[in-house]
Chains A and B, each alone.
Chain A
């Protein structure tokens, strides 16, 4: 049942007013471009306070059950909030792994106990979540994870290492994919899925510095870390299915996310505004026919991807490859974004060489940093190359 247009309109205007009054202005230090690069305590404190404020205002988890801190409303309300957050260029809602992957997963297939225990903390930002899937030797090939979980009485003992763990140094909990059985025929059948505590002995987080110069990722080392057996989700050996379900939320194939506002939105219009300020050969850059042509190609890419979102809902226009548009969405958007940011960072003449920290850098080095940072999107959540394999195999039916 959806609410009337008038009710939604009123809500939009309330949100609008609230944003106007509450979206913080420049905090005086660099804020992360996405949840992937929360690097300092200062950033964390600021973002935690902001998410908590949005939640207390009643604008987060709009369609999550009210008994766990949600608003019990129609998903349309969250879409309105997200749009307004973006429009006001509000700071990100940093607890993204909780809000967008773990929360929907628990609400979908988690036990009542786990919902009661975790959902509220996800929304308030009091309990931070991270994801322990990738390993140093197994990035894209998740089925091969080697981190061991061995049953020991009422606990499991965890040994091994996870990498690229966003928020791992701050997190209270991890969704952990670990191997409980090495003697199975199919490697996938030996995996189990845990809601593992992080602030316990035997868990060490080592922050990793990124190409941007910032932090946000970690390598996590488990050394006889003891986690309660009740943190196992489903049964032993069913971890692969749960992990795949999680990836559906991560890749946006399934709905239910508490908020999509997890990155600073950088649109084609921002790029065009910036390109208009550049000079080349003593004239505006956009008077140069080649620069114009490249700009138009990028605008077309952005428009085509946005149009795919409109067409996805029309069955007759997607009948030859019904899952094609959703399954190619991450591939097209993240690759387009990389090219768009690279182009905008590269058209500055000598200023293209300046980085964040230099007073003369165009927009404070924003585009250079945004370009580097975008690799988080083309690599994380399944690299573009793996995405291309998925499209080839699951959409076109090509052999593995």
Chain B
């Protein structure tokens, strides 16, 4: 019988290593915390110049094939970039655009290539997935008619206000289907921005009723691609949360090293020290999981090991991020309770990340099926 522990490989290719170095430098250089704060209350949530720079670096095409203008380095190479963005708390459409590209790539035939090309060139794309708050729902009420007209409303569509391309999960005669809608086909009234807990993120509810769409694929091929899309989504959110947890830890440790109470640096108190160590160890565990996932996944349908890795990464990273954000507010004392303390950003990021692509319980439940059987 095979071990429940499974594959333990972690490798970092030269390409992944270079992307990590470049992305870390980029975030440190372009996105100091005041730049991040400057975007908290804007409509788009990001600086278009920063996005253009990311597109010029080729980040929207990292995991897309060369024939559509990508660099074919695989999703494993997106992980270090997204981890770095998470470290900077930098809100950009990169995660949603990358995931939309993966869904198209994995679901569709050559029909999808023009859209993939546009994604590689920097068009913002997003997947309209949810009918409700239930990440575990396997069906959708949104329908596409034979003439290609959609009927239904999707909620919390990431970066919807700035997206050029929407991939809409719908059904046709009871079978799951994927349709593409261009921003130009939507009226402004179809989009209602959400008020999100994480002010670096943006999403909107989108009413697709009456909108003409292009059907891209349906049936079993889509089911398999959707599974991988959800797993890769979980992985990228985990990578981002790992970066955010690492940054949160640094900010917290800096405070514990400078703040004095009762004549002592508060970092010398074990009541603060030991939970901080647990944040550290949990962050390291998340990092191990995301780079393990980055090692075992491929452009092929995700293997058992890759599925386990993505789910463990999500469960671990968002749990430690929640703990880190929570303790960061608490350990900063009165100042931690204020808007101006960066703990505010971390605890809000934590709450957002926890739900995205399913919370820790959602993933552990599926890990139970994968590792313990029915």
Contacts and interface: CB of A to CB of B under 8 A. Distances in A.
Interface in B155-195: none
B4 A269 contact: yes
Given A268-B5, A304-B289, A399 B267 contact: yes
B149 interface: no
Contacts of B210: none
B106 interface: no
B273 A389 contact: yes
Interface string A279-311: 000000010010011011101111111111111
Contacts of A57: none
A397 B257 CA distance: 8
Given A388-B277, A392-B276, A398-B276, A311 B5 contact: no
B6 A396 contact: no
B372 A272 contact: yes
A296 B364 contact: yes
Given A388-B274, A389-B273, A398-B276, A317 B10 contact: yes
A397 to B, nearest CB: 7
A320 interface: yes
Interface residues of A, number: 45
Contacts of B4: 268-269, 272, 299
Contacts of B249: 396
Interface stretch (B26-34, B55-63, B280-288, B348-356): B280-288
A75 interface: no
Interface of A: prevailing SS: helix
A293 B361 contact: yes
Contacts of A302: 5
Contacts of A300: 285, 312, 315-316, 364, 367
B372 A399 contact: no
Interface string B264-304: 11011010011011001100110111011000000000000
A69 B267 CA distance: 49
Contacts of A397: 253, 257
Interface stretch (A12-20, A162-170, A213-221, A325-333): A325-333
A331 B6 CA distance: 22
Contacts of B285: 300-301, 304-305, 307-308
Contacts of A268: 3-5
B372 A295 contact: yes
Contact of B246 (A272, A289, A320): A320
Contacts of A289: 365, 368
A399 B5 contact: no
A316 B276 contact: no
Most buried by A among B1, B8, B373: B8
Contacts of A400: 268
Given A388-B273, A398-B257, A303 B8 contact: yes
Interface string B249-266: 100010011000000110
Interface of B: prevailing SS: helix
A328 B5 contact: no
Contacts of A301: 285
Nearest to A295: B372
A385 interface: yes
A309 B291 CA distance: 13
Nearest to B275: A388
A138 to B, nearest CB: 19
Contact of A310 (B1, B10, B268, B372): B10
Given A302-B5, A314-B12, A316-B17, A307 B268 contact: no
Contacts of B361: 293
Contacts of A46: none
A106 to B, nearest CB: 34
Chain B, interface size category, equals 35 or more
Given A304-B288, A304-B316, A311-B287, A398 B281 contact: no
A9 to B, nearest CB: 20
B280 A321 contact: yes
B364 A398 contact: no
Contacts of A332: 281
A391 interface: yes
A316 B315 contact: no
A264 interface: no
A317 B21 CA distance: 11
A320 B249 CA distance: 11
Nearest to B312: A300
Contacts of B364: 292-293, 296-297, 300
Given A269-B5, A311-B291, A395-B280, A292 B368 contact: yes
A399 B257 contact: yes
Interface in B303-335: 312, 315-316
Contact of B268 (A267, A306, A396, A399): A399
B9 interface: yes
Contacts of B315: 300
Interface in B341-374: 361, 364-365, 367-368, 371-373
Contacts of A228: none
A399 B273 CA distance: 9
B10 A296 contact: no
B85 interface: no
B62 to A, nearest CB: 17
A237 interface: no
A324 interface: yes
Contacts of A272: 4, 372
Contacts of B267: 392, 398-399
Interface of B: 1, 3-6, 8-12, 17, 20-21, 246, 249, 253, 256-257, 264-265, 267-268, 270, 273-274, 276-277, 280-281, 284-285, 287-289, 291-292, 312, 315-316, 361, 364-365, 367-368, 371-373
Given A289-B368, A296-B368, A331-B277, 20 more contacts: A268-B5, A272-B4, A299-B367, A300-B364, A303-B289, A303-B312, A306-B8, A307-B289, A307-B292, A309-B8, A310-B8, A310-B9, A314-B10, A314-B11, A321-B280, A325-B284, A392-B273, A392-B274, A398-B267, A399-B268
20 contacts: A289-B365, A296-B367, A296-B371, A296-B372, A299-B371, A300-B312, A300-B364, A300-B367, A301-B285, A304-B288, A307-B8, A307-B289, A311-B287, A321-B284, A389-B273, A392-B274, A396-B253, A396-B280, A399-B265, A399-B268
